[in-house]
Structures are given as structure tokens and as C-alpha cells.
């Protein structure tokens, strides 16, 4: 099987609670593991997208509207739809692994790191497509 979901690849979740959300693949496990014997990927995505900003808004309002709520999840590869886009986020690769999901505090730390990286990327204006919902 061809390896489609390389780290940094943007995909769309098709099934589950986050269906229709954009995600970035952090780690791809083609062979599966003992508890998950099917191909799956560890992904970081956007649960709540940033809101629209206009010139009239003050700095405080703009800062509040630029917030991103991330999620971290292990997803079956059959529930992902690959896109042509990719995100070059160096900090994402080391922030999450299979051990991250065992301890709630580790998961929260990883989410905070992801949130910071996503917000920096959004404010800089790069990868605008990733930070817009599919339908609005």
C-alpha cells in the first residue's frame, strides 16, 4: 500500500465527532499496533475555527477572535480523506505519540503546544485554507 498520510499532510475527518474537520497527520502507523490492529494515524485538528475579523474591531476583540481550539486524536485511515495540502510544522512532530494518550496531563500539554503552533501559523497568514471551515 502506498503511504499517503505522511507527517504534515492535511486531511479531512469523515467519521465521528470531528467529521468535516481538517487535521494534520502527526504520525502514521501503517501496520497498526497491538491494541489497534489496523492502519491508523495520530492527528491534530481544529475543533473550533478562528472567527472573522474586520478593521473596526479593537485589538482585544481581534485577539479573542483569533483563538483556535485544537483536538488530538487517533483516527482510522479509512476515516480520513487526503488533500493536496501540507503544513510544515516542526513542533508538531515531537509533541504527540502513542504514549500521549495514556496520561491525561500529557494530552493536555500536547494540546497546549498544538494550540500555540496553530495560532502562530494563523496570525502569520500562512495556510489560510487550513483555518477556514469547509462550509460557512
pLDDT for res 112: 92
pLDDT for res 36: 82
pLDDT for res 6: 85
What the block records as the C-alpha cell of 4 is 499517503
pLDDT for res 76: 92
pLDDT for res 1: 53
DSSP codes, 23-86:
EEEEEEESS--SS--S-EEEEEEEEEPPPP--TTS-HHHHHHHT--EEEEEEEEGGGEEEEEEE
What is the helix (H) or strand (E) element at residue 12, kind and residue range? strand 9-13
pLDDT for res 14: 94
pLDDT for res 136: 61
Q: How far apart, in whole angstroms, are the C-alpha atoms of residue 133 and residue 68?
A: 12
Domains and CATH numbers, the chain: 9-131 (2.30.30.770)
∠ CA(72), CA(17), CA(38), 5° rounding? 65
| Average pLDDT of adjacent 10-residue blocks, the chain of 136 residues | 79 93 89 83 92 92 93 92 86 76 86 91 88 82
Amino acid at each position: 500500500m502506498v503511504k499517503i498520510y505522511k507527517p504534515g499532510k492535511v486531511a479531512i475527518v469523515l467519521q465521528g465527532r470531528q467529521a468535516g474537520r481538517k487535521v494534520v497527520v502527526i504520525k502514521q502507523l501503517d501496520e497498526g499496533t497491538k491494541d489497534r490492529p489496523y492502519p491508523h494515524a495520530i492527528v491534530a485538528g481544529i475543533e473550533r475555527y478562528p472567527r472573522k475579523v474586520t478593521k473596526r474591531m479593537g485589538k482585544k476583540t481581534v485577539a479573542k477572535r483569533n483563538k483556535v481550539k485544537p483536538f488530538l486524536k487517533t483516527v482510522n485511515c479509512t476515516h480520513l480523506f487526503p488533500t493536496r495540502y501540507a503544513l510544515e510544522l516542526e513542533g508538531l512532530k515531537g509533541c504527540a505519540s502513542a504514549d500521549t494518550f495514556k496520561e491525561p496531563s500529557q494530552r493536555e500539554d500536547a494540546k497546549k503546544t498544538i494550540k500555540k503552533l496553530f495560532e502562530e501559523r494563523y496570525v502569520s497568514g500562512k495556510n489560510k485554507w487550513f483555518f477556514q471551515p469547509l462550509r460557512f
